[in-house]
Structure 1
């Protein structure tokens, strides 16, 4: 007979299916308004991948139910590649991009409202970001969300993929890889951390409530953000990483102003950090029995 704790765990795990169905249903509606089929394609792959490595794993049939035949017919590539290719980012990041495209970047409060309305209908814990970050330089506004992964293994896989696949801007990836992905200790042979200039603002908020989320200790170490917190989330988990990455990508001239200045910011150090990050990625993939013969990243 299944214990009460095991029954509750199984119930919690089913939240993955519930959230996936609601998110995709919303993305289908928004896609008809924006035409951004690439974002729907990409989030399908990300959800299928995370479903595969989840414990217990979820098949496409279990996740999408009555939507499966339509989705597989319209978007076959995610279903063909989720067992061979890695996502470059976590699923809720695709939701954010869709909402930004739907409302336009300057409409910050509307973007946050739409995301809150969606999250209010989701169960906690799976495929949901808890934070959104807004970074601004002059009139340019860029957004990011925290990792919408559950569990240490999934987070490490997607963090490594964001660093190694060039999804994150090089400076952001280098800052994150300054800290060992396996144990969160600081490297002694490489330092890609940097300090944002005052001309750049970077503020995070809770997705589900209208309240500022102060930078954690990790973001203080990575990006020089002022923080009173000695505690930090795992490096790369926070919304600041994606938001700043998007801002840097859009402003190459501004980006040059805060190139890391440490004497340990070297190409040799970067290659060592990337090699170690890849080793952790391969180890995590082996633990979830994912193909490691050739690392490939999914592009919608």
Structure 2
């Protein structure tokens, strides 16, 4: 990430800052608990450099929750490396992004095949004539990291419509009786997922069908909020106001108690964090200073 940051146009050091905090947090909540010193063991010179350049991740990984998993930061960096947004909409550029992600995953797997830090699926969403909006599946395949990141996405990071859809099923894994934020996308929205390593298209899982009414023949139900479609559609709705308004109109017709749904997610999040005595949450989600 540090090397890629030096190759991008404009300052992308905030992405390095963010991924450091996310990785340090993940180390904190593993059953063995890895400190930044453990992670950089054997390269103390680089550790000192990173601590000087990016002090906040070192200071706040024990008290603030990341907004997203590490590989989402990697995706943002790779998309920025691909050039202007207009160029990022081309098919050739999509292939370039896939190739770069696959190359990075291959290097990660040479060191660790636990899937703790890398995503398996890339999703691309777009509206006719618009830019492409990318997302990856959670690079936190195991509990409790995945549960924490889904909760953080719902409460702090994802577009509010996407967050509402996920909260309809989280944390109970069945749709709430008092809240339904699921929606159907307008006909001109395209949402396609790809296996990063297998280089093949993937049909949406049953969860994505339940949340966003994406057509599928798949019977598998992935954990809600885990799929690349969630992040990709969130990025789209943050930018495409017309689409967002159409989705909001659909959901606004229902009688929903969103505050209760958020309390439900927050309650579970606090319960998950309880066993980790080395992490004392200050009720904040980490934000790099330049964002």
Fold equivalence (TM over 0.5) = yes
Give the secondary-structure state (helix, strand or coil) at the position aligned to 2:191: strand
**Pairs aligned (count):** 271
User: Which residue number corresponds to residue 29 of structure 1?
Assistant: 3
Give the secondary-structure state (helix, strand or coil) at the position aligned to 2:21: helix
User: Which residue number corresponds to residue 103 of structure 2?
Assistant: 117
Residues 193 and 260 in structure 1, CA contact (< 8 A), matched pair in contact too? no
- Normalising by structure 2, report the TM-score: 0.89
User: Which residue number corresponds to residue 126 of structure 1?
Assistant: 116
Taking the TM superposition and a 5 Å limit, the aligned residue runs for 1:36-185 are: 36-65=12-41, 66=43, 67-104=46-83, 105-106=88-89, 107-123=93-109, 124=113, 125-137=115-127, 138-165=129-156, 167-181=157-171, 183-185=172-174
1:246 has 2:202 as partner: no
Residues 248 and 254 in structure 1, CA contact (< 8 A), matched pair in contact too? yes
Deviation at 1:263, TM superposition (A): 7.6
Distance 1:131 1:293 in 2: 30
Give the secondary-structure state (helix, strand or coil) at the position aligned to 2:132: strand
User: Which residue number corresponds to residue 13 of structure 1?
Assistant: none
Runs of 5+ unmatched residues, structure 1: 1-26
User: Which residue number corresponds to residue 266 of structure 2?
Assistant: 278
Distance 2:62 2:281 in 1: 12
Deviation at 1:70, TM superposition (A): 1.2
Distance 1:234 1:46 in 2: 21
Q: 1:297–1:248: structure 2 CA closer, same or farther, 3 Å change rule?
A: same
Deviation at 1:241, TM superposition (A): 0.4
Give the secondary-structure state (helix, strand or coil) at the position aligned to 1:261: helix
> Higher helix fraction: Structure 1 or Structure 2?
1
Deviation at 1:262, TM superposition (A): 5.3
1:218 has 2:207 as partner: yes
Distance 1:296 1:265 in 2: 31
Deviations 1:211-251 (A, max 9, x none): 01110000000001001112211000000000000001011
RMSD: 1.5
Distance 1:101 1:126 in 2: 24
Residues 189 and 264 in structure 1, CA contact (< 8 A), matched pair in contact too? no
Distance 2:48 2:285 in 1: 25
Deviations 1:85-119 (A, max 9, x none): 10001110000000000003222111111001111
Taking the TM superposition and a 5 Å limit, the aligned residue runs for 1:178-217 are: 178-181=168-171, 183-217=172-206
Residues 22 and 70 in structure 2, CA contact (< 8 A), matched pair in contact too? yes
Q: 1:36–1:263: structure 2 CA closer, same or farther, 3 Å change rule?
A: closer
User: Which residue number corresponds to residue 18 of structure 1?
Assistant: none
